[in-house]
Structure 1
Amino acid sequence: MRWDISGSWVSYAVPAVLFAVAFVIKLPLLRRAWQDPILRATAVLLGIGTLVFVSLPPANLHRINVLTGVPNFAALWVCSLATAYCGACLWLIITWREPPSAARRRRTRQVGLAYAAVIAGLCVTFLLADHRVERLRDLDTYYARTPWMREFILLYVVAHTASALVAAGLLRAWYREVADTWLRRAVIFLQEAYALGLLFDVAKFAAVAGRWSGRDWDWLSTYAAPPFAIAEAALVAVAFIVGQAGPVLAERRRLVREHRRLKPLWQAMLAITPPAAPATGRVSGAALRLELRRAAINDGLLKLGPYLSASRRERVRSAATDAGYPEPVARGIAGAVDLRFAEAALHAPDDPEHPHSEAEFSVLPCAPDSELENVSHALRNHEAAIERFYRQALAGEDSGAGEAPERGKALGMGEAPAHGT
């Protein structure tokens, strides 16, 4: 019993759904920039691909034949669409790969004319042929020796083979030039897709050649070839999904990870100053949630700014490094210790020797994200070390009571305005 993947509509539904998903992902861009030739080519390719695989299940082929009243009209419909799909693939690759130029327009025009001529040839040969017996799954081998249907079949398979070979060559040359990670992945998926497309063509040619020589190799066309075509189409759709959705998902993942890493520091800053904006929950975007978290942290840093000490952070950082902590961890511990000193000073009675003005706080620079993440990481994972170095720093500052602590630097940044002159 042979593996009959092509007999089930589910097999064709998978690439059809993938093409539809890729089209939906592109839709917002298509609405905004329909004049972009790459987007137009993408829309044509994905739309045709969806139509092809919606039409291919045997039950749908029969419905098309009944609807038109022409036996095997579904073959002309599907082969014409598939040929247009092949032309759209080449059109898109050329448009995608080459910068706008007269040469690119000439090449895409040549592709369009060539595949339009193939579709015209399919129509002519189909009209001239005798195809009165409906064949839903073995049309290629059943009519392999029938005048004009033979030419119809060969024209379609040759056009598909030429498309796969040219596309594979273009993609191979393009892969060496691509620097973007997600685009390289998309190109790899397309290369694998066209390799499978060539296997589909080999199976079709072998089955037809077997009929010509009197051998029964029909199973190559009926059972072996369709899985290659289904896999090819699925990989093409995945390539477009990866190329479009991959960067978006990667950026969102980066935002979510940064949002999560800043949580301990954000929670510490909420004890200093409440958030200026209400919590938005999961309905807001990842970028908005991250900006609100950064704003709450920066508000707290502005309030603590006059009490932060760069020299204190440097002493704690040096002590943490000597204790064996890596440099980023030591910087985070030093920042967390300095924040603890600043919070204690904020809640202590005002020092008459160092008055401060709220108006001056707004000009304080904010710490870079890397420094904030170091401090947040220390608050999450090194609480015991922070406590130990805080006590050591406190003891050191108590022993040097005659020396006024350096004030007015924002966390990890430049000098703050002077106070109490």
Structure 2
Amino acid sequence: MRWDIAGSWISYAVPAVLFAVAFVIKLPLLRRAWQDPILRATAVLLGLGTLVFVSLPPANLHRINVLTGVPNFAALWVCSLATAYCGACLWLIITWREPPSAARRRRTRQVGMAYAAVVAGLCVTFLLADRDVERLRDLDTYYAGTPWMREFILLYVVAHLASALVAAGLLRAWYREVADTWLRRAVIFLQEAYALGLFFDFAKLVAIGGRWSGRNWDWLSTYAAPPFGIAEAALVAVAFIVGQAGPVLAERRRLVRDHRRLKPLWQTMLTITPPAAPATGRVSGAALRLELRRATINDGLLKLGPYLSASRRERIRSAATEAGYPESVARGIAGAVDLRFAAAALHAPDDPERPDPDAEFTAFPCAPDSELENVSHALRNHEAAIERFHRQALAAEGLGVRDLSAPA
């Protein structure tokens, strides 16, 4: 029993759905910036890819033939779309890779003209050919020796082979120039896709050559080639999904991570200031939650600012470092201890034991998120160390061992 992946509509549904998903991901940008040549090329490629794989299941090929009343018209329909898709792939790679220039416009125009000529050639050879017997699975080998259908078949296979070879060369040169992580991953998927496309073309050509030499290698075209073509298309769609959705998902993951890391510090600041009011504007979801959390922290730091001391933080940081804590942890512990002092002073303004108001106090640094995350990490994981260094600092500043963090 042969591996007949091409006989199931599910095999074609997978790349069709992937192409459609990639198109939907691109849709908001397409609406806003249709004039962008990269977006236009992407839209054409994804749209053609979806149409090709919606049409390819044998049952749908038969429906197309019945609907048009022309035997094997589905072959012309699918091969023309697939050829235009190959041209769109090259058009997109050239547009994506090269900066806007007259040379880029000339190359994309040449690609468009070449593949338009191939589609025209497919139409002419199909009209001239005798192809009255409907073949849904083995048209390439069944008509391999038929005048004009032979040329029709070779035309679309060679056009696909040429696009795969040219695309592979362009992508290999481009990969060395790409710095963006997600774009590099997309290029890798495209390279793998076109490598599979070469296996598809090889299997088709060997099967056709077998017919010409009197050998029956039809299984290469009917059973072996389609899985490579399906996998090629699926990887192309995945490449676009990775290239477009990857950065979005990575940014969302970063926002969620930062939101989670700031939670202990945010909870501490809720004892100082009420939560920030909901933000307005074009911010939503994870970005909004992180913005509100940062706003609450910043509001708290503004209130505590007059009571914070850079020199105290430096002394505690040095002590924590000497005690064996890594630099980032020591900085977090020092910041957390300083916040305790400031909160105590804020809540007990009339306490005679509060720090000297004439001493040199400096606001908590408007540090990058990493500094606030250090403090938040210390509050989550090093409460015992914070308590120990807090008491040491109290004794060093002559304030006794009373825990000043409690409100008066």
Q: TM-score, normalised by structure 2?
A: 0.93
Provide the aligned length of Structure 1 versus Structure 2: 394
Aligned match of 1:303: 303
- Provide the residue aligned with 1:112 in structure 2: 112
Worse-superposed segment, 283-292 or 216-225:
283-292
Equivalent-residue separation in structure 2 for 1:393 and 1:77 (angstroms): 81
Runs of 4+ more than 6 Å apart: none
Q: Structure 1 pair 57/47, CA: closer, same or farther in 2 (3 Å)?
A: same
Does 1:259 find its partner at 2:262? no
Tell me which residue corresponds to 1:64: 64
- SS of match in other structure, 2:397: helix
Q: Once the two structures are superposed, what CA deviation does each residue of 1:363-396 show, in whole Å capped at 9, x if it has no partner?
A: 9863331211000000000001111111111111
Structure 2 counterpart of 1:291, which letter?
E
Structure-1 residue corresponding to 2:200: 200
Secondary structure of the structure 1 residue equivalent to 2:71: coil
1:249 aligns with 249
List aligned pairs for 1:253-332, cutoff 5 A. 253-278=253-278, 284-332=284-332
Name the Cα RMSD after superposition.
Answer: 2.0
Which of 346, 354, 357 pairs up with 1:354?
Answer: 357
Instruction: Report the alpha carbon displacement of residue 355 of structure 1 after superposing the two structures with TM.
Output: 8.9
Give the SS at the match of 1:398.
coil
CA offset digits 1:254-275 (Å, max 9, x no partner): 1110110000000000011111
Matched residue, 1:2: 2
Match of 1:341 in 2: 341
- The residue that corresponds to 1:53 in the other structure is 53
Moved more, 47-56 or 93-102: 93-102
Alignment partner, residue 228 of structure 1: 228
Q: Which amino acid aligns with 1:176?
A: R
User: Mean Cα displacement is larger for which, 255-264 or 302-311?
Assistant: 302-311
**What amino acid maps onto 1:286 in structure 2?**
A
Matched, 1:180 2:180: yes
Instruction: Quote the residue 1:157 is aligned against.
Output: 157
Distance 1:2 1:346, change over 3 A: same
State the Cα deviation string for residues 130-156 of structure 1 (Å, max 9, x = none). 111100000001111111111110011
Q: Which runs of 5+ in 1 are unaligned?
A: 401-421
Structure-2 separation of matches of 1:380 and 1:333: 11
Q: 3-state SS of the aligned residue for 2:337?
A: helix
The within-5 A match list for 1:68-83 is 68-83=68-83
Q: Which residue of 2 aligns with 1:43?
A: 43
2:25–2:245 contact (8 Å) kept in structure 1: yes
Secondary structure class of the residue paired with 1:321? helix
Q: How much identity, in percent, do the aligned residues show?
A: 91
Which residue of structure 2 aligns with residue 127 of structure 1?
Answer: 127
Would you say the 8 A contact 2:331–2:375 is kept in 1? yes
SS at match of 2:324: coil
Shift of 1:102: 1.0
Partners of 2:72 and 2:16 lie apart in 1 by: 22
Q: 1:383 and 1:115 mapped to 2: Cα distance?
A: 68
Confirm or deny: 8 A CA contact 1:83 1:156 kept in the other structure: yes
Give the secondary-structure state (helix, strand or coil) at the position aligned to 2:398.
Answer: helix
Amino acid in structure 1 at the alignment position of 2:204: K
Contact 2:279 2:288 in 1 (8 A): no
Q: Where in structure 2 are there 5+ consecutive unaligned residues?
A: 401-408
Name the structure 2 match of 1:167: 167
CA distance in 1, matches of 2:89, 2:130: 32
Q: 1:5 to 1:35 in 2, by over 3 A?
A: same
Aligned counterparts of 2:240 and 2:397: Cα–Cα separation in 1: 61
Distance in 1 (CA, whole Å) between partners of 2:364 and 2:242 is 42
> In the alignment, what sits opposite 2:390?
390
Please tell me whether the aligned partners of residues 301 and 366 of structure 1 are also in contact (alpha carbons under 8 angstroms). no
Q: Deviations over 1:85-140 (max 9, x none)?
A: 00000111111111111111111111111111111111111111111110000000
